[in-house]
Amino acid sequence: MTYCVGLRISEGLVLLSDTQTNGGLDHISRFTKMFPFERPGERVMALMTSGNLSITQGVLARLRYGIKAGAGDSAIATLLNAESMYQVAELVGAEMRKMQEANRQAIEQHGQSAEAAILLAGQRKGGKHRLFLIYSSGNFIKATADTPFFQLGEHKYGKPILDRIITPDTSIHEALKAACISMDSTLKSNLSVGMPLDLAVIEKDALVFRTRRRIEKDDPRFAAISQSWARSLRKGFEELPNFLES
């Protein structure tokens, strides 16, 4: 399974994904689910994927081919020359739709799900930083002030902390902590989500990745956040009033 989370706050975008793919108890593999695209000073973006791996890998392959085909032809719209992040979302949605139309029936005939989804986050020069959730059918929605984060995959375990903490005015440092706690809660409760993790931070108007790194299972900072959060939960639980009178 998968857990990916994208946060859109006033200061920028925070993205975190796991790397475990579960095809059954005896078939657990590691695949990155975060894919960066960057032209420093001009545009920066990342895609995070979930669902049928053949579908999402096909979408990415077609998008990369489009970039190569459009390198010498400005008339071909690609991730790296689109006029807006909205147009980028349209390109990703169109490739998702093509992959679904070409492969969905065959995949489902073999008893598998063809469902897939993609989070798109980024900014181009002169535009706003955006976060989109793109569905299997190719349609999409964007994050707003009322809904400043999106999740893919096993979302239920990590959603409560985001609901309580994340607003458009949350700082990047606080958003990073919330994303880590959200992921840690999911790791603790669902064995189909696993380390290592991929982290990316896109600061507003920087037009470059300020942070992009792999978090391994022995990462001291992630471990410190996990342990501190566990202690805080235990302390808070112990301080709760009794429900019934003694």
The answer as to whether 243 is a domain residue is no
CATH of residue 65 = 3.60.20.10
In the chain, the number of structural domains is 1
The answer as to whether 16 is a domain residue is yes
The reported pLDDT for the residue numbered 27 is: 55
pLDDT above 90 covers a percentage of the chain that reads 89
Q: Mean pLDDT across the chain, nearest whole number?
A: 94
132-144 average pLDDT score: 98
Integer angstrom CA distances of residue 13 from 46, 142, 157, 188, 236: 10, 13, 21, 25, 30
Query: 157 lies in which domain range?
Result: 3-238
The answer as to whether 14 is a domain residue is yes
pLDDT in tens, 205-226: 999 999 999 999 999 999 999 9
The answer as to whether 244 is a domain residue is no
Euclidean distance between CA atoms 107 and 103, whole angstroms: 6
- CA 27, 28, 34, 37 torsion-angle sign: negative
The reported pLDDT for the residue numbered 90 is: 98
The answer as to whether 143 is a domain residue is yes
Q: How confident is the model at residue 245 (pLDDT cuts 50, 70, 90)?
A: confident
The answer as to whether 222 is a domain residue is yes
pLDDT in tens, 226-239: 999 999 999 999 99
Task: Dump the DSSP string for 170-201.
Answer: --HHHHHHHHHHHHHHHHHH-TTS-S-EEEEE
In three-state secondary structure terms, 243 is coil
If 0-12 CB within 10 Å is exposed, 13-18 middle and 19+ buried, where does residue 91 land? middle
The reported pLDDT for the residue numbered 76 is: 86
pLDDT in tens, 102-135: 999 999 999 999 999 999 999 999 999 999 999 9
Euclidean distance between CA atoms 183 and 38, whole angstroms: 25
165-174 average pLDDT score: 98
The answer as to whether 54 is a domain residue is yes
Euclidean distance between CA atoms 83 and 70, whole angstroms: 14
pLDDT in tens, 53-98: 999 999 999 999 999 988 877 778 999 999 999 999 999 999 999 9
The answer as to whether 126 is a domain residue is yes
